[in-house]
């Protein structure tokens, strides 16, 4: 089941009241603005850590899961990226704090 990750205000988190969200990882829509923000943050951070002069470009968000913990969220996202003429898939974990700050926690190549 896919859920929209839409904030309706401080009492609503990912379409659920903060106390009512399901436990564990949930599949979410890849086109959701919050998922897109998390993916953009991941790409920006990966680029900052890279020694390559060729920038990473986000081609597609392939899949996204979210786990809501307390008032923060953890995103598990598979990204299709390009760097020059090379394409690859990356699996990233991005956390979003209750203040709205994103942090890239983990990145690895995604083998299908």
Q: What residue ranges do the domains of the chain occupy? A: 2-109
CATH 3.10.450.10 fits 2-109, yes or no: yes
- H/E element, 37: helix 33-49
How large is the average pLDDT for residues 82-106?
95
Per-residue pLDDT tens digits for 51-86 = 889 999 999 999 999 998 887 899 999 999 999 999
Measured distance CA(68)–CA(40) in Å, rounded = 20
Q: What pTM does this model have?
A: 0.82
Per-residue pLDDT of 14-65, as tens digits, reads 555 555 667 789 999 999 999 999 999 999 999 999 988 999 999 999 999 9
Q: Higher pLDDT residue, 93 or 13?
A: 93
| pLDDT surpasses 50 at 10 | no
Report how far apart, in Å, the C-alpha atoms of 13 and of each of 9, 78, 82 are.
Answer: 8, 22, 32
- Tell me how far apart the alpha carbons of residues 50 and 46 are, in angstroms, rounded to a whole number: 6
Q: What is the pLDDT of residue 20?
A: 61
- Name every residue whose Cβ is closer than 8 Å to that of residue 51 and which is 6 or more positions away in sequence: none
Rounded distance between C-alpha atoms, residue 89 and residue 87, angstroms:
7
End-to-end Cα distance, the chain = 22
């Amino acid at each position: 089941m896919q859920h929209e990750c839409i904030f309706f205000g401080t009492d609503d988190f990912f379409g659920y009241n903060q106390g009512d969200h399901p436990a564990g990882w949930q599949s979410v829509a890849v086109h959701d603005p919050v998922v897109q923000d998390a993916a953009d943050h991941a790409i920006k951070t990966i680029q900052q850590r890279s020694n390559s002069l060729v920038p990473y470009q986000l081609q597609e968000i392939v899949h996204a899961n979210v786990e809501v913990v307390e008032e923060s969220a953890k995103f598990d996202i598979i990204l299709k990226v390009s760097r020059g003429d090379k394409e690859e898939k990356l699996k990233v974990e991005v956390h979003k704090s209750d203040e709205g700050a994103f942090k890239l926690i983990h990145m690895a190549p995604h083998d299908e």
